[in-house]
Amino acid sequence: KRNEETITIAFSQCVGSDAWRRNMLEEMKRELSLNKNVEFVYQDANNNSLTQIQQLRDIAKKKPDLIIISPNEAAPLTPIVDSLFKAGIPIVVTDRKTTSNKYSAYVGADNYQVGYKAGEYLGSKLNGKGNILQITGLPLSSASQEREKGFYEALKSFRNIKHNTKINGQWIRENAEKALLTHPFPVNGYDAIFAFNDQMALAAHQVVAQLYGNQNTRIIGVDALPGLDNGIDLIYNKKIYASLLYPTGGKECIQTAMAIISGRAYEKELLLESFVVDSTNVHAMKVQNDKLITQQIDIDRQQKLLEDQKRVFIGQQRTLNFLVIS
Ligand code: FRU
């Protein structure tokens, strides 16, 4: 690609409305604003795999230079993603995967590790004994499948921990709440609940509080986002016990995409780090996040100032040209 040409990056997002994915898009846009001549095509499949397949077909017609995709469910999205890749379009898979390895790069955390760390953590917090409920995401999505595998593997060595009860919350708070309300809870409740994201962990907190009042089920989630009613805030306010940080990788996706398009070196598997956030480090996380937010506001202000100056400059040049010509 020559420098002056406009390049097109398409992003097929499985769902766009939740805080985690809004964060991801925000990060992408910030990174995109640092690159010239990039057209960004964005499609949101609203949790629906058939919609996402159709949207990918439409995207292909635009002949993009690269497609970033977070596949809603692995198996249903595999044929279309494979065929686009075989047709020569570079593919960056992010957060969730298909069932094949036909992609140029993966950007995101290792979901097996996320599940594994959750298992290890609860195993040790429960002192090797107890009864855990899992609230999974969409069973066909790779993130849910991998978190479940990792969790299972980590708890294998804990013989006195029961962890085979699971309900399907489909990644959505309201759906998790509905599933929990019809779930036959044990008389004394669970010792712990592993919800595969913080929104479903919040649903668990609310239902458990309704059923048992103030009790000590250790509820853990995944994501640890800043912002009201997101992970960090929920841990801080003791509504959930812990969360696994799950970085959105928006910035890294765009960086990887640009590297691929311009023929620079890139990592085939760009794995972002995940770690446990709980009462021991939540305060530090909060302070750091607040600082990042104010820094971002400063950067945005500087950018706006630069744009204003550019506008004034262009205006002055026009006046000058006009004066010279007349
Ligand atoms: C957001 C989300 C996150 C979760 C991820 C898994 O849509 O549900 O909460 O960590 O997707 O793919």
**Going by CATH, does the domain composed of 111-245 fall within 3.40.50.2300?**
yes
Residue 199, pLDDT score: 98
Residue 4, pLDDT score: 63
Select from 94, 168, 197, 243 the residue to mutate for testing ligand 1; criterion: most ligand atoms less than 8 Å from CB. Answer: 197
Instruction: Ligand 1: list residues with CB < 6 Å.
Output: 15, 18, 20-21, 95-96, 137, 143, 171, 197, 222-223, 246
Q: Superfamily for 7-109+248-272?
A: Response regulator (3.40.50.2300)
Asked if residue 2 has pLDDT above 50, the reply is no
Residue 325 Cα, ligand 1 centroid: separation in angstroms?
59
User: Chain-wide mean pLDDT for the chain?
Assistant: 95
Residue range(s) in the chain whose domain bears CATH number 3.40.50.2300: 7-109+248-272, 111-245
- Find the mean pLDDT for residues 13-41: 95
Spatial distance between the Cα atoms of 282 and 279, rounded to a whole number of angstroms: 5
Residue 303, pLDDT score: 85
Q: Which atom of ligand 1 is nearest to the CA of 172?
A: 8
* Residues 93-151: tens digit of each pLDDT: 999 999 999 999 999 999 999 999 999 999 999 999 999 999 999 999 999 999 999 99
Compute the C-alpha angle 69/71/74, nearest 5°. Answer: 140
CB atoms within 10 A of CB 37: 11
* Residues 60-90: tens digit of each pLDDT: 999 999 999 999 999 999 999 999 999 999 9
Residue 63 near residue 91 (C-beta atoms within 8 A): no
Residue 208, pLDDT score: 96
Residue 49 near residue 73 (C-beta atoms within 8 A): yes
Would strands 38-44 and 7-13 be described as parallel, antiparallel, or unpaired? parallel
Spatial distance between the Cα atoms of 323 and 178, rounded to a whole number of angstroms: 71
Residue 46 Cα, ligand 1 centroid: separation in angstroms?
13
| CB neighbour list of residue 195: distance below 8 Å, 6 or more residues apart | 134, 135, 169, 176, 201, 203, 204, 219, 220, 221, 222
Placement of tokens 């298992």 in the chain: 119
214-227 burial: b if 16+ Cβ within 10 Å, else e:
eeebbbbbbbbbbe
Rounded to two decimals, the ipTM of the complex is 0.97
